Amino acid sequence: MQLDTAIIKLRKFYTSEKRLPTHEEICQLFNFSSKNASFYLVKKLVEAGVIEKDQKGRLTPKNLFAIPQLGIIKAGSPMPAESSLHDDSIDLYRYLLDMPGTIFSLVVKGDSMIEEGITEGDIVIVEKGREPHNGDVVAACVDNEWTVKYFRKMQGNVVLLPANPKYKPIFPKDSLMLGGVVISVIRKYH
């Protein structure tokens, strides 16, 4: 069995179960007739750095969700191919684990932050409770309506600024509650 096939099946299992399978479940998942085949596969996956065992011997993801990062690509003038290539990877599982525990996500509707690169349908990851600084993008409830905007404190007052000239700055009239600071944006193309 190729490791790529095993990795795909393990990713699907982990996504649905929020954990890696036991050796018995690996036998079922891969139609193995003996646990020895399961132990062999696990050994190969550990050697490849895809999974690891914790102190109690349970399997945990290591680079299970790593996406190969093959280099740099310019969005301006093209560059020679050989100067853009390197072999690295981004592990999305570790990336998400390294985020603070007080995060939540919101789906963006509208185009008021388009010049910041936040477009309709994007998912913003917001850190709750983080103190915003001028220029931070925040999720805020202003006068009982939620929005995502730049945070700016001017002369002791907060103003929420859009990243699109079609929209006006928002000055809270009755209430302002900051939900948190946007720390990441996820966009999925079709």
* Other CB atoms within 10 A of residue 107 CB: 10
E strand residue ranges, 59-130:
59-61, 66-71, 85-91, 103-107, 123-127
* Counts of helices then strands in the chain (DSSP H, E): 4, 10
Task: Work out the average pLDDT over 7-36.
Answer: 90
Task: Work out the average pLDDT over 168-174.
Answer: 93
Question: What is the spatial distance between Cα 94 and Cα 72, in angstroms, rounded to a whole number?
Answer: 21
Task: Work out the average pLDDT over 142-168.
Answer: 93
Task: Work out the average pLDDT over 137-146.
Answer: 91
Residue 128 annotated among the catalytic residues of the structure = no
Q: Which of 9, 16, 34, 149 is catalytic?
A: 149
Per-residue confidence at 148, pLDDT binned at 50, 70, 90? Answer: very high
Q: Indicate whether 188 pLDDT > 80.
A: yes
Three-state DSSP class for 76? coil
Amino acid 98: pLDDT: 65
Q: Percentage of residues in the chain with pLDDT exceeding 70?
A: 81
Are 164 and 112 spatial neighbours (Cβ–Cβ below 8 Å)? yes
Three-state DSSP class for 93? helix
AA identity, residue 150: Y
pLDDT, tens digit, for every residue of 85-133? 555 666 666 666 666 668 888 899 999 999 999 999 998 988 888 899 9
What is the model's pTM?
0.60
Nearest CA to 153 out of 167, 130, 169 is that of: 169
Q: Which of 112, 128, 153, 173 is catalytic?
A: 112
Residue 43 annotated among the catalytic residues of the structure = no
* Average pLDDT across the chain, whole number: 85
Amino acid 88: pLDDT: 67
- Is the CATH code 3.40.50.460 the one for domain 3-61? no
Q: What end-to-end distance do the CA atoms of the chain give, in Å? A: 31
CATH of domain 103-186: 2.10.109.10
The residues spanned by each domain of the chain are 3-61, 66-97, 103-186
Question: What is the spatial distance between Cα 40 and Cα 43, in angstroms, rounded to a whole number?
Answer: 5
Per-residue confidence at 161, pLDDT binned at 50, 70, 90? Answer: very high
